[in-house]
Structure 1
Amino acid sequence: MTASSWKFDFGVGEAAAGYIKATPASRYHPSVGCGFTGEPDIAARDRGEPDALRRDLIIPADAEFRVDVPDGSYQLSLLIGDWILPSHTTVKAAPGRLLISGLRTSPGQFVRETVSVRAKGGCIRLQFSGQAPRINALEINAAPHALALFLAGDSTVTDQPEDGYPYAGWGQMLAAFLKHDVIIANEAMSGRSSKSFIGEGRLDAIWEAIKPNDFLFIQFGHNDQKPDEERFTDPATTYKEHLLRYIDGARERGAHPVLITSVHRRYFAEDGTLQDTHGAYLTAVRELAAETGTPLIDLAARTKSLLEELGPDNSKQLFMWGARGEFANFPGGIEDNTHFQEQGAIRIARLVVEEIRALDLWPLAMYIR
């Protein structure tokens, strides 16, 4: 194991050459720098086959495995399977970033999935779940030169915190739709406008990290409407002026800016059509894209079609609409027409990926799964 590469063999058998053995008893401690966090209920099996990595496995039901690494971009290779039983495994990178969704293997089948993550806070935390989860091996390799897709936006885009589950931003789900060649750098933050994002230094942080040929996706508008001085922008003037700073800054650094219109809120008129709560802000983004020759993902148009297709009742399944006792973190129930629950965020992320393909954003379009 080196400073840029980590290799783990999960199970109870002897470790494969060059790998660190991770057993159910391997608990995380700062002095060790890796291991399962908390007190998870983890089982292990040794199937007795000759292959060192495939012969044994761990069944990580709702378990989290942490590895301390320097902040940066990484590619992860996970070996998943079982000699005698089918498996069903979902993998997320905390907080809630979907990497592998419901991967199924048949008895005797082993799949090596390669995904990418961006480590922040000095660690990578992988969360395992599924109907019958398995993990045989994990390799982590630094990928400082990989193509990065930076996201600047608000709560509908951001990585929502774990204690808010099933709250989720569409940026949280994006990695599951793109190959490991792309690192998702989700810098979006709840409550921010195009103005306050800059004022807090968040855009400067992107400029420090972005490389030539990286992408910057820009979606603001929800909070630019707010009346406070820190966030408000006028759609005819200051909104465009602030967005232009994102576009120009990306191009000055050899990166590719992409404008995105705000996702619609879930408010329906009596005739079943969706009400537009963003108005001139959507027009401003479309005009700015045309004026500057910037690619535009018209997510407002796409979400309008989607929500009207689903209708007032079925569209609730995309948003944070939960009955009393339905969501563990919101036991009293919740009715939120702005923010997505995880399945909704997945649907919106899929729309974004469809637009990447339709616009032929090269080379990003080449890396769609």
Structure 2
Amino acid sequence: MRKLVCTLGLLLCASTFYTQAQVYKFDFTSDKKVKEGYTKVTSETLFNEEQGYGYDLQPAWDGKSNQPFFFSVNVPDGNYKVTVTLGSKDSAGNTTVRAESRRLFIENLPTKKGETLVESFTVNKRNMYINGKQKVKIKPREKNKLNWDEKLTLEFNGDAPRITSLVIERTDKVPTIFLCGNSTVVDYDNEPWAAWGQMFPRWFTDGIAIANYAESGESANTFIGAGRLKKALTQMKKGDYLFMEFGHNDQKQKGPGKGAFYSFMYNLKIYIDEARSRGAYPVLVTPTQRRRFDKNGKIMNTHLDYPDAIRWLAEKENVPLIDLNEISRTLYEAMGEDGSKHAFVHYPANTYPGQTKELKDNSHSNTFGAYELAKCIIEGMKKADLDAVKFLKKDYKGFNPARPDRFEDFKWNLCPFTEIDKPDGN
């Protein structure tokens, strides 16, 4: 009996500790008195595995500097509501908050001296482990990606980033939109690359999470083969969504049984069936256009019959469709052949450190292009009448791809890391 009581006591203590560990509170102020229940953060609070939290990747913030900084906390896989109190009693601020691999959540939020504003959003965190024996087969270039480690990492950027407190708490009940796709969807860690999946969270409240599993170079079948879909399914629950945007790389596959209406359809059907078996909602997305114009200033079709195959499958399986292929055609034609360069990775030599040659990429978006495409996806969601649009923030005013935002009005503070190598896929 005594042994049983001791065992139950240990289990209860472990359970209590685990529950408490799902809420993390940090005080960034210079006040000597620490808020009750909070952990004081100073410039000496540097991340290490034993401690499990602290300033990471870049030099610590001293409370006054205008340089970007990162703060990481070790947490189990899942969705976390992040509440930040931004601002300072000592100075005015302008803060942008991104999470994990440059997922945008708070954009250029100004605060006056002495003013603080409280904002919340939900972040999905994952590692590469599927179960005790299996893990996702990530690529060598992904080994240092913030999306695949044990930490939830926050980037505080902007003209003058200011924070007074941070609360991270586990939340299991919010719906999640899982994104599956390639380099046109993925979260990029480094400038100047970007994709719509990492800009997408900017427009949603903390009532929903976005989990971007996309990776450069993936096709519908290789995504499955690498265990990416299987990993996503370990977190998926009833009421979630599974968005699929493939086609860019699938169209390059040749051989018996390959093709838009053959192997491609078969693989997409696996995604649909797996989502539905868990009570989640599959959503098909046609591939975004490449920047290729004809002599009349019209976007040329470069995806063969893959967009039509997706449209056919959506109708046959009664799956909602976001026709990004058509929406992005409207977007780029409205920008024009020259103006659309501002939406892609087109930069003269020496724009970024180590960049000795011109960057000229007509497949991959920069931050502005990704920002515009994220709005295109939202408009597609609205047209498809997806219930998830009820979680849009009040400051989302709608978007007409025929009238894009002005590139000159777009403000993006660069993260400290750049990469010159082109992403996988084209």
- Alignment TM-score, normalising by the size of structure 2: 0.79
Select 1:107's aligned residue among 110, 113, 119. 113
8 Å contact from structure 1 (residues 27, 37) kept in 2: yes
TM-superposition CA deviations, 1:248-285 (whole Å, max 9, x none): 22111110000000000001111111111012101111
The aligned runs of 1:5-84 (5 Å cut-off) are 5-13=23-31, 14-38=33-57, 40=59, 42-44=61-63, 59=65, 61-83=67-89
- Assess, with a 3 A threshold, how the Cα gap between structure 1 residues 329 and 69 changes in structure 2: closer, same or farther: farther
Question: Within 1, Cα distance between the matches of 2:255 and 2:73?
Answer: 42
Which sits farther off after the overlay, 325-334 or 345-354?
Answer: 325-334
What's the offset of the Cα at 1:200?
2.2
1:4 aligns with 2:22: yes
8 Å contact from structure 2 (residues 185, 195) kept in 1: yes
8 Å contact from structure 2 (residues 95, 156) kept in 1: yes
Select 2:162's aligned residue among 127, 134, 151. 134
Give the aligned partner of residue 350 of structure 2. 325
Give the aligned partner of residue 122 of structure 1. 150
Select 1:263's aligned residue among 288, 294, 301. 288
TM-superposition CA deviations, 1:147-184 (whole Å, max 9, x none): 1110111111011233xx22112111111111111111
Give the count of matched residue pairs. 352
Letter in 1 for 2:22: S
Which sits farther off after the overlay, 177-186 or 220-229?
Answer: 220-229
Give the aligned partner of residue 48 of structure 1. none
3-state secondary structure, aligned to 2:252: coil
Question: Within 2, Cα distance between the matches of 1:245 and 1:174?
Answer: 25
Question: Within 2, Cα distance between the matches of 1:305 and 1:358?
Answer: 15
8 Å contact from structure 1 (residues 73, 143) kept in 2: yes
Between Structure 1 and Structure 2, the one with more strand by share is 1
1:92 aligns with 2:98: yes
- Assess, with a 3 A threshold, how the Cα gap between structure 1 residues 123 and 242 changes in structure 2: closer, same or farther: same
1:361 aligns with 2:367: no
TM-superposition CA deviations, 1:104-141 (whole Å, max 9, x none): 12333321110111123211111111111100100000
TM-superposition CA deviations, 1:38-83 (whole Å, max 9, x none): 4526332xxxxxxxxxxxxx65621111111112210100001233
3-state secondary structure, aligned to 1:283: helix
3-state secondary structure, aligned to 1:265: coil
8 Å contact from structure 1 (residues 59, 135) kept in 2: no
User: What are the ranges of 5 or more consecutive residues in structure 1 without an aligned counterpart?
Assistant: 45-57
- Assess, with a 3 A threshold, how the Cα gap between structure 1 residues 134 and 278 changes in structure 2: closer, same or farther: same
1:243 aligns with 2:268: yes
Letter in 1 for 2:209: I
Select 2:224's aligned residue among 198, 209, 212. 198
Question: Within 2, Cα distance between the matches of 1:247 and 1:301?
Answer: 22
Give the aligned partner of residue 241 of structure 2. 215
Question: Within 1, Cα distance between the matches of 2:47 and 2:207?
Answer: 29
- Assess, with a 3 A threshold, how the Cα gap between structure 1 residues 76 and 132 changes in structure 2: closer, same or farther: same
What's the offset of the Cα at 1:332?
2.4
1:155 aligns with 2:164: no
What's the offset of the Cα at 1:11?
2.4
1:281 aligns with 2:306: yes
8 Å contact from structure 2 (residues 44, 60) kept in 1: no
- Assess, with a 3 A threshold, how the Cα gap between structure 1 residues 331 and 91 changes in structure 2: closer, same or farther: farther
3-state secondary structure, aligned to 2:229: helix
Question: Within 1, Cα distance between the matches of 2:377 and 2:87?
Answer: 31
8 Å contact from structure 2 (residues 253, 259) kept in 1: no
Question: Within 2, Cα distance between the matches of 1:195 and 1:233?
Answer: 11
- Alignment TM-score, normalising by the size of structure 1: 0.91
What's the offset of the Cα at 1:215?
0.2
Give the aligned partner of residue 178 of structure 1. 204
Question: Within 1, Cα distance between the matches of 2:272 and 2:359?
Answer: 37
Taking every aligned residue pair, what percent have the same amino acid on both sides?
A: 35
Select 1:309's aligned residue among 334, 337, 353. 334
1:291 aligns with 2:309: no
Question: Within 2, Cα distance between the matches of 1:92 and 1:360?
Answer: 28
8 Å contact from structure 2 (residues 251, 304) kept in 1: no
Question: Within 1, Cα distance between the matches of 2:352 and 2:316?
Answer: 44
8 Å contact from structure 2 (residues 58, 70) kept in 1: no
Question: Within 1, Cα distance between the matches of 2:390 and 2:86?
Answer: 25
Letter in 1 for 2:232: I
- Assess, with a 3 A threshold, how the Cα gap between structure 1 residues 227 and 38 changes in structure 2: closer, same or farther: closer
Question: Within 1, Cα distance between the matches of 2:309 and 2:26?
Answer: 50
Question: Within 2, Cα distance between the matches of 1:39 and 1:190?
Answer: 26
Question: Within 2, Cα distance between the matches of 1:353 and 1:23?
Answer: 40
3-state secondary structure, aligned to 1:315: helix
User: What are the ranges of 5 or more consecutive residues in structure 2 without an aligned counterpart?
Assistant: 1-16, 127-148, 394-426
What's the offset of the Cα at 1:302?
0.7
Letter in 2 for 1:348: L
